[in-house]
Structures are given as structure tokens and as C-alpha cells.
A and B are shown apart, each in its own frame.
Chain A
Amino acid sequence: MREGASTFSQFKTIFRFLILSELANKERMLAPVMFSGITLILLSFGVGDLPKDINLDFYNTKLFVTLILALSLFFSRVFDLDRKDGIHDLMKTYNLNPFSWFAAKFALVFLVSWSTCIPTFVFAKLFSGISGDIFSNFWQTLTILSATLAGLTAMGVLLSAIVMNADSRALLFPVLFFPLSVPVLLAALHCNDHILQGRWKGLSDGWLQILLIFDVTYVILGAILFSETVEA
């Protein structure tokens, strides 16, 4: 045996453990995808054909609203594993750097969120009736989605840790999560609207900055406050 655990090696160990657990229970990943698929189909068939300019706005709105609802399902269960069989308590008795714990959770949720994000994006495009290549403005869209996911993931992990031991966590999580996700959601909506209308350069008008500011704020808040929540 070689002794001595650095923050990075603890991060790797926890991340590997979390990935293995995630892959072992595919239901956790599939449930949000099913939710987004069904919601988008219902919205598309329920609303029917719309004029082109309204259709673009509707597509954008339903994409992000569905995405955030589907992701909230996933975020609210981020700490299900830790609550099993005293794993969380046992981790607290180890010499664990809270930052490596937060970083591992963040990395896992950010990665796995794409398994919801990509199908939601594809479903939304398929059922929107918008003409054009699905991969047009690929890099711009990828940037906005990454920034959106980063902010939401940091907030989702932190709030999930806060409500982990609450009896009414199923109610408490959405009550805290949705108001805090509004700035990110609004900024992402406006940024994507610019992209859809081919005005990528117009993003300097402030929405991209707002999105990035909230990303940074939420990630820093998550990293700082996570240690307080897990030690409580």
C-alpha cells in the first residue's frame, strides 16, 4: 500500500465511485430523458402550427423550460447514493477534502446532464417544425448549453446537499432551485435567441455576461458552501 491522499486523488476516487454507481442504475439517467421527450411531444402536438417568428420563440422557450424541469429531476437525486447505508456519515469520518467531494459531484452531474440535454435538444428540434440543419450554429449552441449546465449543475449540487437530510426534500428542492435558476434560464434563453436569429455577435449586449457571471457565482458559492452543508 502507498499512503497519502491528495485532493486530486480523492477527487478521482469519488468520481470513479460515482460514475460506477450511475452506470449501475440507468433509471436515474433515463427518467429525465423520458420526461423531456414526453413533454416536448405534448407541447408540440398541443400547440400545433405557429407562425414562423412565434414558432422560433416557442421552440426556444420549450427547449429551456423542458430542459430545466428534466434536469431538476436529476439534480434532486444527486445525493441518493450518499444517503444509502450510512455512506455519507462514513465519508464524514474520513479525512476528506470537501472541495474534492464537491468537484467530483459537480463533474459527474455536469457530464451526466448532457445525457438529458442532448436528447432534449434533438427532440425539441425534431418536434418544432423549424427548417434548417439541426447542427447549424453548433459551437455557439454548445457554448451556451455548457454555460447553462455549469451554472445549473453547481446550484443543483449545492441545493441537493442542503436538502439531503430534510424530511421534505422532495418539496424543498424545487422551492429553492427554481427561483435561483431563473437568472441562468433567462440569460440562456436570450443568448440562444440571438443564435437562432443569426446574431451571435450581438451577444456582447449583456446576456452572455450575465450567464457567465451567474455561472461563476454559483460555482464559487457551491465550492465554498458545500463543506458547511456536508459537515452539518
Chain B
Amino acid sequence: MTLKIDLTFQVRYYSIDFEQTGFLSIYTQIGTLVDHGKRSHSMRPHDNVLGGAVLEVTNLSFGYSLGRQILVNINLSCQGGEVVHIKGSNGRGKSTFIKILAGLIRPQVGTLSWTDDQKVMMPFETCEYLAAEHNGLNDELTAMDNLRFWPSLKGAQVTDPLVLKVLERWGLSGKLIQSNLTIARFSTGMKRRLALARVCLSNSRIWLLDEPTYGLDTQGLSALKDMIQDHKGKGGLTLVVSHEPGELSKLFTNTVELAG
């Protein structure tokens, strides 16, 4: 049965049915071999309008141990141009939920589908993920080296002026960058700014931001608000996990509360 579904997906569309054990792995292997190098739809240039991204979550459940389900029957539907706030008290599964959306964890029950211009996608084809506790930065390298790396992995040829422009937006240009300091010398807030600059450069349609405000000062929060506002204006979809959204709450179009 799994094989039959797989072949259909290769011809027409992709979707993820997590109740089919091991399906994601099978898809990933076949999909990687078949599709790699042929995709050109995952990102668009900065000045283009993003759009058409839709997320549908149906009856999604997950638990780390059999006795305790932390996510129970989650349903969510959102689309481009929305900023969704995911909230809930500690231990309710906010970060777990966003990791599931990013494709890092498989839910035990339920379905999840990403569509982009009516084409069903895998999470990694359309999302940019920012973890709560990590920034994804190599602290032995410079900010420029780090920011060149991630977009290049998605096939984007990022020019130095573009990277500098994004760094400037985040208040990280100037002497710090010119003197080629390694990330190890950066403060917590500066590292967070760099991680957000990486999200900004990625130009993915969907941003999954887990506690993006962590370590940011007032200027950083303002830059984050502008960044999400721009993304929203271009028709991008943003999901934000945050305990203290502050000014960001003005941007939220939808709120999901995880009660556990």
C-alpha cells in the first residue's frame, strides 16, 4: 500500500501520512534520487511577492512516552499573509509542534500538508526554521561565512552586497564585520540577530520561528517586527512561538493555544 501511494506522489503530488510507518523515510530516499537538482520552485527572488503557501494540520497528536501525549488532536489551517502565534505554558509542546512542522520530528497520529501554489510540498522545500535554543551558527567562522553557507545550501547564490545589506538591517555591519571577528566573540543577542538574518536571507515562503525574541534588545525587536511585517506583506506565512511577543502581538492574525 505504501509503495502504491509513493508512486502516485512521484507523478502528481506529495503529502505526508504519518500513520504510514516509515513513509517519510521512503519518500525522502526516492524523492531525493528522483527530484534532486530539478526543483526550481522552492524560493523566489527577494523583491518578488511570495504567496500561495498553505499549511493544513489535521488531528495531529504526539507524545514522547506512551503514557503522556503532549500534543492531542491539533488542527490548524493557515495560509500566506498570516502571522500565527503559537502559545501555551511550559511543557505544552510548542517547540515540539514547530519541530514537527519543520520535519524534524514525526507525529504519531494525524496528517500535515504544506502546499505552495497548490503544489503539495515537503517541509524542507518551503520552510525556514529557527530553533529556540540554537542559532545554527559555526562560532569558529565569521558572520559572512555563516550567512553565505545556509542560502547556498538551498541553491541561492548570495552575493556579498546582499549579505551586507541584511547585516546592516540587523545592526551587524561596520567594524565587527570588517574586522572578520568569529562568531565566538559575539554576544547572545548578536548571535540571535545573525540567526534571524539567516532566516531573512533564506527567502522561504514559510518561517517557523521558535522564541525569536530571545536575547534581542529593543532595536533587535524592532528589526524583527519589520522583518515579519515585510514577509507578511509579501504573502509569506510566519509561525511564531513566543512567551513574550510584546510588539509582535500587533502582527498576529491567528493564535493557537496548546493546552496539552
Contacts and interface: CB of A to CB of B under 8 A. Distances in A.
B154 A94 contact: yes
A93 B135 contact: no
B153 A93 contact: no
B141 A21 contact: yes
Interface in A1-52: 1-7, 9-10, 13-14, 16-17, 20-21, 24-25
Contacts of B6: none
A92 B103 contact: yes
Contact of B25 (A85, A91, A95, A231): A231
Contacts of B162: 1
B67 interface: no
Interface string B139-157: 1110001000111111111
A7 B145 CA distance: 20
A90 B198 CA distance: 12
Interface in A67-96: 81, 84-87, 89-96
Contact of B149 (A4, A13, A24, A227): A13
B152 A3 contact: no
Given A86-B131, A93-B103, A95-B124, A6 B136 contact: no
Contacts of A17: 138, 141, 145, 149
B139 A84 contact: yes
B104 interface: yes
Interface in B145-200: 145, 149-158, 162, 182
Nearest to B135: A85
Q: Which of B36, B43, B124, B127 has the most chain A CB atoms inside 10 A of its CB?
A: B36
B140 A25 contact: yes
Contacts of A222: none
B68 interface: no
Interface string A95-110: 1111100000000000
B137 interface: yes
A5 B124 CA distance: 13
Contacts of A21: 138, 140-141
B37 interface: yes
B152 A9 contact: yes
* Residue among B104, B151, B152, B153 facing the most chain A CB atoms (10 A cut-off): B153
Nearest to A17: B149
Contacts, number: 116
Interface string B33-51: 0001101101111100000
B45 to A, nearest CB: 5
Nearest to B121: A95
B65 interface: no
B20 to A, nearest CB: 16
B133 interface: yes
B124 A3 contact: no
A17 B136 CA distance: 13
Interface centre among B44, B123, B145 (most CB of A within 10 A): B145
Contacts of A7: 36-37
A49 to B, nearest CB: 45
Contacts of A228: 25
B136 A86 contact: yes
B151 A93 contact: no
B140 A24 contact: yes
Nearest to B43: A3
B135 A98 contact: no
A217 to B, nearest CB: 21
Nearest to A91: B153
21 contacts: A1-B43, A1-B45, A2-B157, A6-B37, A6-B155, A13-B149, A13-B153, A17-B141, A84-B138, A84-B139, A85-B135, A85-B137, A85-B138, A86-B133, A93-B102, A93-B103, A93-B104, A93-B128, A95-B122, A99-B32, A227-B29
Interface of A: 1-7, 9-10, 13-14, 16-17, 20-21, 24-25, 81, 84-87, 89-99, 227-228, 231
Q: What are the 4 A-B residue pairs with the smallest beta carbon separation, nearest first?
A: A86-B134, A5-B155, A90-B136, A24-B140
